[in-house]
Amino acid sequence: MRSKFPLVAAMLLCLPGYALAQDYPNVNVPNSDERRRLMLQKMQELQQQKRIDDAYRAARNKIPNQKPNDPWADVRPPPATPAPKNKPQ
């Protein structure tokens, strides 16, 4: 019985802490000023990202189309022209 007493006492001392933790308001929830500031910051980040994307698209559209590079063009023989087909009469 005596060996269980410190364990039970420690458990009983921990219980009020858990109950009080459920009772306190959440301290991580921002107030209205912080919420407004965070929303403005998020909107500015989205606008900045949109400007970056638009600049990227504009720069990409300025690149002229190039013909595909064929490194084996000199090694391959030229394509053979097919023989004309004879029409049966």
d(CA 31, CA 82): 79
- Name every residue whose Cβ is closer than 8 Å to that of residue 38 and which is 6 or more positions away in sequence: 30
- Name every residue whose Cβ is closer than 8 Å to that of residue 78 and which is 6 or more positions away in sequence: none
Q: What is the pTM of this model?
A: 0.42
pLDDT digit string, tens, across residues 7-47: 888 877 777 666 666 666 666 666 778 888 889 999 999 99
pLDDT digit string, tens, across residues 54-68: 999 999 999 888 888
Residue 39 tokens read as 């929303």
In whole angstroms, what separates CA 20 from the centre of its chain?
38
Tell me, what's the pLDDT at 85? 76
d(CA 37, CA 45): 12
Torsion, Cα of 33, 38, 41, 45 (10° steps)? -160
